[in-house]
Amino acid sequence: MFIAAFLLSATTRASAQSSINFSGGASIEPEQVFAGVSWQSPDFGGRFHLRPGIDGGFGNDLRLGTINIDLIVRVPLGTSSWSLIQGGGPTISIVTFAGLLENTPRKLRAGGSYLFGFQHDNGFFGEFRVGGGGYVPNLKIGVGWAVEVK
């Protein structure tokens, strides 16, 4: 019983910490690979977190920078070490064309995105991000690692 109480309290403390998240993956429409970093706030209002981040995508004759400001919720999955992650928010895209269109001026667009994924208590996570509007990728599939900030 003492061990169960300790594990529950340790999990609560870990989820209350902020983290820096490193991620990478691929997007569809435009077809690119991306890498990014985000900061996740300590929980507030229960299971809610604020997670602003920035990604850089390359490929399909585009260089795409996206800035996301997500409100997410983490829901523990039973007694396992996994949590369901859901959320979303506004997205700003900065597009630079390459190849034949490299003389085209940069474009700044706004849109939104919704994310769905899973995260392990050790920091590993995988997620799907569905976007819309401007040059926001229609689907991003990524994995990453969260490093707790103490």
How is the chain split into domains, by residue range?
Answer: 2-149
For the chain, how many helices (H) and strands (E)? 1, 8
Q: Which residue has the tokens 């997205």?
A: 91
Q: What is the pTM of this model?
A: 0.82
Q: Which residue has the tokens 């340790």?
A: 10
Per-residue pLDDT of the chain (150 residues; tens, 9 = 90+): 444 443 444 444 445 689 999 999 999 888 999 999 999 999 998 899 999 999 999 998 889 999 999 999 999 999 999 999 999 999 999 999 888 877 888 899 899 999 999 999 999 999 999 987 667 789 999 999 999 998
Residue 7 DSSP SS3: helix
Q: How far is residue 3's CA from residue 102's CA, in Å, rounded to a whole number?
A: 60
Measured in whole angstroms, the distance separating CA 40 from the mean position of its chain's CA atoms is: 9
Domain 2-149: assigned CATH number: 2.40.160.20
Q: Could you tell me if 123 and 14 are in contact, meaning their C-beta atoms sit under 8 angstroms apart? A: no
